[in-house]
Amino acid sequence: MEIYVHIPFCEKKCNYCDFLSGPADPMVRQMYVNALCAEIAQRSKDIGKGEKITTVYFGGGTPSVLENVQIGVIMAALREHFNISKDAEITIEVNPKSARDKLQFLNGLGFNRLSIGMQSVHRSELELLGRIHSFEEFDECFIDARDAGFTNISVDVMTAIPGQTEQMLSATLDKVLSYSPEHISAYSLTIERGTPFYEQFGDIEGPVVGEENERKLYWLTVDKLKAKGYKHYEISNFAKPGFESRHNTGYWNRVHYLGLGLGASSCLPAPEGDERSRNTTSLEAYLGNPLTKEESNVLTRQEMIEETMYLGLRMMDGVDTDAFERQFGVTVRSLYADVIDDLAAQGLVYEGGSSLSLTDLGIDYGNHVFAQFLS
């Protein structure tokens, strides 16, 4: 089982961000930490000490905006109430501006993987995105992280930024590669409702830079990172061999996970089938009762099958059809033969050995492919 911990605070909301996050004063942050620790204690009673936790992921928001002592208290509560494996992957997302004086402490606390939100090396792009850090601060943060003992660092890069050219993206990727991080996530910008970018660019169909340019930028990223030895293991993720994100890979392979914190989602075993639930998204409600759920439903067998297909197809290795048969007692072909044959004829999927995976063309039309496996 995996654990996700949501820290919904940041110094400033980015212009593209629709995550459940925002600025808050020190008193609210402390109240949240107290509520989160109470939730940890209560939720652990449902899980039990016998369940081994293989990954822990602090996401946000920006977890590094918390004080050292607050992060320490949360980690202590997790270790007290859960059976965290000795070799667990323990990740924390950080912003270069708020992390530098915390890196030594975080490493000593047991965090062994760092995810740094860089996005771009160009000041114009960082300012457009509303990022609070400069490239120089990223540079200092990365070097300090190495000095602090981090040997597993992931860097976030954003593509399809308004006005971004292939030359600009190439410069960003070259600079990131010069640091030789173990993992790189490259996400294409999408315009979400309720964000400053939505107000600026409106309700547009597809990427701001246009579908053709977005694809060019995507494949530029893929080709450049693969040429430097990074494995393209998921649509938007690349890693040196052995450094694939264990936590996120668990999501795509439908490993059970417990979400803790405001708006955090969980997928836990239930007698009738996996139960998906989400904590309240109201900060006031969460502070009043951190066990408040906003939604909860038990997946049917058909829903679990569909999730296995469209989540598994995000991985470049594809859906393990032997594992599928062991889990559900039927073959993928017995359920989807016509769909697979049709997609294969279009050059969108490849069926070989014990896997079903996307082709390069299938990656470009991923959403269309995924939809074919939904009722």
Q: Which pLDDT score is estimated for 23?
A: 87
- Work out the burial of residue 254: count CB atoms within 10 Å of its CB; fewer than 13 is exposed, 13-18 middle, 19 or more buried: middle
At 268, give phi and psi (nearest 5°).
-125, 155
**Taking a C-beta distance cutoff of 8 angstroms, is the pair 228, 170 a contact?**
no
Question: DSSP letter string over 206-253?
Answer: S-TT-HHHHHHHHHHHHHHHHHTT-EEEETTEEESTT-S-HHHHHHHT
Residue 278's DSSP bridge partners are 265, 295
- Token output for 256: 């059970």
Q: For 151-194, give the secondary structure using H, E and C.
A: CCEEEEEEECCCCCCHHHHHHHHHHHHHHCCCEEEEEECCCCCC
Residue 116: phi, psi to the nearest 5?
-105, 125
Instruction: Tally the C-alpha atoms within 13 A of residue 338's C-alpha that lie toward its C-beta.
Output: 1
CB atoms within 10 A of CB 47: 17
- Check residue 184 and give left, alpha or beta (phi > 0: left; psi -120 to 50: alpha): beta
pLDDT beneath 70, residues of the chain:
203-206
For residue 204, the model assigns a pLDDT of: 67
Q: Could you tell me the domains of the chain?
A: 2-251 (3.20.20.70), 300-375 (1.10.10.920)
Give the Cα separation of 354 and 359 in Å (integer). 16
Which distant-in-sequence residues (6+ apart) come within 8 Å of 75 by Cβ?
109, 110
DSSP-assigned states of every residue in 274-297 = -EEEEE-S-HHHHHH-TT-EEEEE
Strand order in the sheet with 113-119: 231-234, 237-239, 183-188, 153-159, 113-119, 83-94, 52-60, 2-7, 257-260, 265-268, 275-279, 293-298
**How many whole angstroms separate alpha carbon 189 and alpha carbon 88?**
31
Handedness of CA 328, 333, 339, 344 (dihedral sign): positive
Helix, coil or strand: residue 316: coil
This prediction's pTM: 0.95
Asked if 184 contacts 230 with a C-beta cutoff of 8 angstroms, the reply is yes
Strands ordered across the beta sheet of 349-352: 319-320, 355-358, 349-352
Question: Are the CB atoms for 60 and 80 separated by under 8 Å?
Answer: no
Pair of tokens at residue 335: 């359920």
| Residue 119: predicted pLDDT | 94
Q: How far apart are CA 144 and CA 314, in angstroms?
A: 33
For residue 241, the one-letter residue type is P
